[in-house]
Amino acid sequence: MELKNLIREIPNFPKSGIIFRDITTLLSNPDGLHDTIDILTEKCLKFEFKLDYVVGIESRGFIFGMPLAYQLNVGFIPVRKPGKLPAEVYSVSYDLEYGQDSLEMHKDAMPRGSQVLVIDDLLATGGTAVATTQLMEKANCNLVGFGFVIELKDLGGRQKLPKVPIISLIEY
């Protein structure tokens, strides 16, 4: 199945000149969703790294990260927006186009030295992925790779990421 055919394009959203890549049409297609998880799993297994956890970035990283963690038989760790996690957290702020945002992760989410794979739906400018990398550093964990369903290559996010394997299933 060609996954790219299941992504709806919405012109001029959220502002004029932008083409929004909407994954809800992929998610609602049972075969497409199944293939997405299977392909991510397949690609992860090709890298022979030891893996302890899949880290999913809020919120669409949860959608793909949970079933991937299940398939890889590892734990799942959520990285959330501020104020969503009840225990003590590591926090990292990062710049947006107009302002700042933050991401958080429980300090006791995983032991020091854990091998982690970060998953999200989209790699664009790389801001949330870089912030998540900083959370992994604060937790003294080893980032072994990234996985994305979609990569917007023209925005250069890949170049901002550490030199680890990067999986992207669909490129624009």
**Does residue 80 have an active-site annotation?**
no
β-bridge partners, 104: 80, 91
Catalytic member of 21, 60, 80, 151: 60
Q: 170: which strand partners?
A: 150
Task: Based on the residue annotation, tell me whether 60 is a catalytic residue of this protein.
Answer: yes
Q: Which amino acid is at 10?
A: I
Choose, from 2, 48, 97, 112, the residue flagged as catalytic. Answer: 97
Query: CA dihedral defined by 161, 125, 90, 114, rounded to 10 degrees?
Result: -30
CA 65/CA 133 separation, integer angstroms = 16
Residue 23's identity, in one-letter code, is I
Instruction: Tell me the catalytic residues.
Output: 60, 97
